[in-house]
């Protein structure tokens, strides 16, 4: 997929950056650590809301099936209700056949048809949504955009969107940055860790995360076209072992062999997905 990233230089950046830098240190909701975040939560939410329609379009648009959207949204909201950062989250199934999942700043979360079609039960879907919710909770996407776009550009983009008016260039900048954002391994390990915690709190067997990572690793070894997902979400056998260790330490009662109570419902929804997006597995 070819993406155009609009490159522009903001004016009066210095005037915007200085007051934000003065109060930019905040406590990370997931880790409890102090982080330098240069935009407010309100600005972050505004950026996500503004960019979501274009980002959705980039990845095939919403899957045109209300029951599927409600299903994904329902699982996501179970995760959101118990995560470390209370805010308004939104979960959308998009029609791209490329297996992937994304989280925009402010809680707009997307999973592709190509990824859902490769799962086998509901707890694996909960694992994906938990992982992406964790990226939002731990401010990974905001900090990643600060690094990728540059702090001054991010502050200017946030200010333009929060101020209203013509935001076409600003939205293009966000979409371009998020579409090419690559999380480091530390962020991925953290998102797995917190995603596992949220899954357990929401009543899902956390071994769904190990199952999901194993499915994806097997697909990569078979030469499946998962390059885009692995570019933004690095995967390795070590990451699977880390997930197993987290579950053993923090959720020792979880049984990897226990059946998934939602597996039957998931199979029904997966069948609807393949009818709605016939090329999801191609």
pTM, two decimals, is 0.87
CB-based burial, 79-111: b 16+ in 10 Å, e otherwise = bbebbbbeeebbbbbbbbbbbbbbbbbbbbbbb
Render each residue's pLDDT in the chain as its tens digit; 282 residues.
333 322 222 333 333 333 444 347 899 999 999 999 988 999 999 999 999 999 999 999 999 999 999 999 999 999 999 999 999 999 999 999 988 899 999 999 999 999 999 999 999 999 999 999 999 999 999 998 888 888 888 888 888 888 876 678 888 888 888 877 888 889 999 999 999 999 999 999 999 999 999 988 877 765 555 555 545 555 678 899 999 999 999 999 999 999 999 999 999 999 999 999 999 998
Report the C-alpha gap between 208 and 184 in whole angstroms: 22
Strand partners, 34: 27
Positive/negative CA dihedral, 146, 196, 193, 99: negative
In a 13 Å sphere around the CA of 253, the CA atoms on its Cβ side amount to 3
Q: Taking the domains of the chain in order of start, what are their residue ranges?
A: 18-259
Report the residue count for the chain. 282
Number of Cβ atoms within 10 Å of the Cβ of 210: 24
| Dist. CA 256–CA 211, nearest whole Å | 9
């Amino acid at each position: 997929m070819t993406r155009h990233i609009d490159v522009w230089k903001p004016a009066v950046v210095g005037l915007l950056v200085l007051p934000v830098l003065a109060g930019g240190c905040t406590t990370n909701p997931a880790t409890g650590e102090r982080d330098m975040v240069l935009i407010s939560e309100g600005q972050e939410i505004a950026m996500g809301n503004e960019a979501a329609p274009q980002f959705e379009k980039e990845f095939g648009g919403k899957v045109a099936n209300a029951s599927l959207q409600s299903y994904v949204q329902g699982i996501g909201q179970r995760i959101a209700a118990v995560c470390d950062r209370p805010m308004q989250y939104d979960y959308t199934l998009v029609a791209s056949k490329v297996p992937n999942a994304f989280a925009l700043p402010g809680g707009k979360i997307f999973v592709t048809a190509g990824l859902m079609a490769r799962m086998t039960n509901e707890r694996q879907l909960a694992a994906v949504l938990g992982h992406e919710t964790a990226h939002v909770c731990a401010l990974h996407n905001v900090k990643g955009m600060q690094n990728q776009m540059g702090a001054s550009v991010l502050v200017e983009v946030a200010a333009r969107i929060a101020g209203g008016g013509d935001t076409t260039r600003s939205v293009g900048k966000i979409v371009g940055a998020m579409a090419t954002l690559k999380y480091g391994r530390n962020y991925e390990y953290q998102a797995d860790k917190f995603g596992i915690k949220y899954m357990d709190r929401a009543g899902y067997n956390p071994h769904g995360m190990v199952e999901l990572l194993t499915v994806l690793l097997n697909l990569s070894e078979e030469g499946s076209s998962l390059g885009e997902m692995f570019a933004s979400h690095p995967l390795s056998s070590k990451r699977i072992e880390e997930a197993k260790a987290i579950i053993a330490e923090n959720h020792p009662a979880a049984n990897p062999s226990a059946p998934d109570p939602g597996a039957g419902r998931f199979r029904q929804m997966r069948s609807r997905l393949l009818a709605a997006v016939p090329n999801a597995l191609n």
